[in-house]
Amino acid sequence: MIWLGIDTSNTPLSVAITKNGQTLVEIVQNVKLTHSVTAMPVIEELLAKVNMKPNDIDAIAVSEGPGSYTGIRIGVTIAKTLAWTLNKPLVGVSSLKVIASNANLFNGLVCSLFDARRQNVYAGVYRGIHMEPVIEDHHCTIVDLLTNLKELKEPVLFVGQDVTIFEEVIKEHLGEKALFAPKTLQLPRATKLIELAAEKPFQSMDEVQAFVPKYHRLAQAEAEWMKEQKKE
C-alpha cells in the first residue's frame, strides 16, 4: 500500500511517500517558508523521484492539529483536495502525537508541546510504542500542564521545538523527573505520521468531505468576534 504523508502544522514541513511500510522518500525542512507556496511543489518533486503519479497513491495521511492555524489549514486543504479528487482515503493524526512518536521507545511518559503564547501551550501526553494517550491533546497554561504531570509521579520526556522556551519552568516543577529529547527528535516526520495513520480506520468519502482541522482553541480573531457577538 502506498501512502502520502503531509505535515504542515508548524514551521517545519515534512512530506513522505511509503510503500508497504517502507519509506521510499521523505523530506523534512525547517526553514521559514510559506507552506502554501512550498508544499505542493515538494509533493510533486517526491512523486517524480519515485516515478509515481498522484493516482498511484492509495491513501493520504495529514497532521490535523493543533499548531499553527494557517499551517494546519494549508496541509488539510491540500490533503482533502487530493483525497477528494483522486477518490482516496484520508486519515488525520494529531500533530502532537506525530512529534511524540519520535520518542516512542522511551520507557515513561512522552509529552509533546507547542507554544500557544502568553505562557499557554498545546500539549499531549503519551506512552508506549503505539503512543497511547495518557492526557489527551488540549490547550492550557504551562503551569497547569506541569501540575498535572507532577501528580503522575513518573519520568516525563519532553519533545518539540518549543520545549526550550519552557525548559526552566519545567525543571522547577518536575526536577529530576523532567527529561528533554535531543534536537534530532524535535521535528515532525511524515513517515511517523503515516505509521500512526495506518493504525486507524479509513473514512468514507462523505467523512473526507466533512474533515476539519482540530485546533483545540479558537483563533484570536474568531475568539474576539464571538466575544463581541455576546455583547450585542
Taking only the tens place, the pLDDT of each residue in 115-142 is 999 999 999 999 999 999 999 999 999 9
What is the rounded CA–CA span in Å between residue 131 and residue 152? 17
How does 117-140 read in b/e, with b if 16+ C-beta sit within 10 Å? eeebbbbbbbbeeebeebbebbbb
Q: Which residues pair with 27 in a beta bridge?
A: 15
- CATH value at residue 62: 3.30.420.40
Q: Which residue has the cell 509521579?
A: 153
Predicted confidence (pLDDT) per residue in 38-61, tens digit: 999 999 999 999 999 999 999 999
Lowest pLDDT segment from 35-39, 180-184, 213-217: 213-217
User: Does 82 share its domain with 146?
Assistant: no
Q: Which residue has the cell 495506518?
A: 198
Residue 117 sits in which domain range? Answer: 96-185
User: Does 6 share its domain with 87?
Assistant: yes
User: Does 89 share its domain with 6?
Assistant: yes
User: Does 7 share its domain with 86?
Assistant: yes
User: Does 91 share its domain with 201?
Assistant: yes
Q: Which residue has the cell 512522552?
A: 110
Does residue 232 lie within any of the structural domains?
no
The CA-atom distances, in angstroms, between 1 and each of 58, 91, 198, 215 are 6, 14, 10, 30
User: Does 212 share its domain with 197?
Assistant: yes
Does residue 229 lie within any of the structural domains?
no
What is the rounded CA–CA span in Å between residue 159 and residue 182? 8
Q: Phi and psi at residue 40, in whole multiples of 5°? A: -65, -45
Task: Determine the average pLDDT of the residues in 160-182.
Answer: 98
* The pLDDT of residue 91 is above 50: yes
Does residue 231 lie within any of the structural domains?
no
The CA-atom distances, in angstroms, between 44 and each of 19, 51, 72, 76, 220 are 17, 10, 19, 17, 34
User: Does 149 share its domain with 214?
Assistant: no
- CATH value at residue 118: 3.30.420.200
- Look at the chain and report how many structural domains it folds into: 2
pTM: 0.91
